[in-house]
């Protein structure tokens, strides 16, 4: 039995977010006014990697809402993410397993998104079989809906995953060309650089698709409600690309937990019709991306982002090495 690995970070407490009472009074008043009653209770969500306010609020009438907000100009990047999420979420098909966007506020001072509050929680690592099955089934349903994008989403002219390939999904190739630091990659993996660059080269063909994919599918973007139903959150990275790419991204954490991820990928509806080496191509691209980003300077608003990327990069690379039969420090 191969060794398992658990993430070095607490995924339920990765974010450094303000509490409701710490938000500027003008923002709290604007949200309460839009909700139609004063907020009497609020629970800040600890997961995620952004410093904006994210949490469930309850008003004096007993109504519960899921609120995301960011201030300008201090949180301009996050505010722009939220504005994009609002634009996309307002056009998501009703059949998609995603919380309904109720309303937004977008001013020069802040951005606020209000969603239906889902009574549930994210599946914390390690992945349990039932939770993993639910998440994979939920993604299969979502991918089926997005396989024929509705006109409302097509009209947004969303980005294409293939456009990310030469920029962020060919880090092994960048190392080989001397345009990315080799120190970001393990020495034993650099010995496999020709094979890794060959896999990355295929991404330019494999990742071109008119279907839509989430592009940020991971455990803390999944919620399983009190009835056992799964939901997918954070749709601001929605783009044109093959759904199997996201399936691989979510399964990296499951590989670390000892699950038979080769079988799970092969049996998942999104992998049907994918190239025979699609899994390896995705693992090479993910590993290079995560390991390179892990070596970048830390982010003051997200202290756990680099360990998160390092661990995922290591697990993606270990899974690929196992599939390819490459020697690693743990296998020699």
Question: Residue 332: its pLDDT value, please?
Answer: 44
Helix axes 243-256, 305-324, angle to 10 degrees: 90
Question: Residue 47: its pLDDT value, please?
Answer: 83
267-287 pLDDT, tens digit per residue, is 999 999 999 999 999 999 999
Residue 204: pLDDT above 50? yes
Indicate the pTM of the whole model.
0.95
Question: Residue 3: its pLDDT value, please?
Answer: 77
| pLDDT averaged over every residue in the chain | 95
64-115 pLDDT, tens digit per residue, is 999 999 999 999 999 999 999 999 999 999 999 999 999 999 999 999 999 9
**Quick check: 263 and 130 in contact, CB under 8 A?**
no
Every domain range in the chain assigned CATH 3.30.200.20: 11-117
Rounded Cα gap, residues 332 and 327, in angstroms:
6
Q: What percent of the chain has pLDDT over 90?
A: 89
Residue recorded with tokens 């690929």: 320
Question: Residue 9: its pLDDT value, please?
Answer: 82
**Quick check: 78 and 52 in contact, CB under 8 A?**
yes
Angle at 21 between CA 16 and CA 23, to 5 degrees: 65
214-254 pLDDT, tens digit per residue, is 999 999 999 999 999 999 999 999 999 999 999 999 999 99
CATH fold for domain 121-324 = Aminoglycoside 3'-phosphotransferase; Chain: A, domain 2 (3.90.1200)
CATH of domain 11-117: 3.30.200.20
Residue 149: pLDDT above 50? yes
Residue 8: pLDDT above 90? no
Per residue, the 3-state secondary structure of the chain, as one string, reads: CCCCCCCCCCHHHCCCCCCHHHCCHHHHHHHHHHHCCCEEEEEECCCCCCCCEEEEEEECCCCEEEEEEEECCCCHHHHHHHHHHHHHHCCCCCCCCCCCEEEEEECCCEEEEEEECCCEECCCCCCCHHHHHHHHHHHHHHHHHHCCCCHHHHCCCCCEHHHHHHHHCCHHHHHHCCCCCHHHCCHHHHCCHHHHHHHHHHHHHHCCCCCEECCCCCHHHEEEECCCCEEECCCCCCEECCHHHHHHHHHHHHHHCCCCHHHHHHHCHHHCCCCCCHHHHHHHHHHHHHHHHHCCCCECCECCHHHHHHHHHHHHHHHHHHHHCCCCCCCC
Every domain range in the chain assigned CATH 3.90.1200.10: 121-324
Residue 330: pLDDT above 80? no
Q: What percent of the chain has pLDDT over 70?
A: 99
13-68 pLDDT, tens digit per residue, is 788 899 999 999 999 999 999 999 999 999 999 888 888 999 999 999 999 999 99
**Quick check: 103 and 36 in contact, CB under 8 A?**
no
């Amino acid at each position: 039995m191969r060794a398992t690995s658990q993430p070095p970070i607490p995924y339920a407490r990765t974010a450094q977010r303000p509490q409701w009472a710490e938000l500027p009074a003008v923002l709290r008043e604007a949200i309460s006014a839009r909700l139609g009653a004063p907020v009497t209770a609020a629970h800040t969500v600890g997961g995620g990697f952004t410093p904006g306010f994210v949490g469930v609020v309850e008003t004096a009438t007993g109504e519960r809402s899921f609120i995301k907000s960011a201030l300008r100009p201090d949180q301009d990047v996050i505010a722009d993410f939220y504005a994009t999420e609002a634009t996309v979420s307002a056009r998501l098909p009703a059949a998609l397993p995603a919380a309904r966007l109720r309303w937004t506020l977008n001013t020069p001072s802040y951005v606020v998104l209000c969603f239906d509050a889902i009574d549930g929680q994210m599946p914390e690592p390690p992945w349990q079989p039932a939770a993993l099955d639910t998440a994979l089934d939920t993604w299969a349903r979502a991918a089926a809906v997005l396989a024929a994008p509705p006109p409302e989403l097509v009209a947004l002219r969303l980005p294409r995953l293939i456009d990310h390939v030469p920029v962020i999904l060919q880090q092994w190739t960048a190392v080989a060309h001397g345009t990315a630091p080799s120190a970001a990659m393990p020495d034993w993996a650099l010995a496999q650089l020709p094979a890794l660059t060959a896999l990355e080269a295929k991404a330019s063909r494999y990742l071109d698709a008119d279907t839509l994919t989430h592009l940020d599918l991971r455990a803390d973007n999944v919620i399983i409600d009190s009835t056992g139903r799964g939901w997918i959150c954070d749709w601001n990275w929605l783009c044109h690309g093959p759904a199997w790419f996201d399936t691989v991204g979510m399964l990296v954490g499951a590989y670390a937990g000892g699950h038979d991820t080769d079988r799970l990928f092969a049996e998942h509806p999104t992998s049907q019709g994918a190239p025979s080496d699609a899994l390896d191509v995705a693992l090479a691209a993910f590993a290079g991306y995560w390991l390179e980003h892990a070596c970048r300077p830390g982010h003051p608003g997200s202290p756990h982002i680099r360990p998160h990327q390092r661990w995922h990069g290591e697990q993606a690379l270990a899974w690929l090495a196992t599939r390819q039969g490459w020697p690693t420090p743990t296998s020699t």
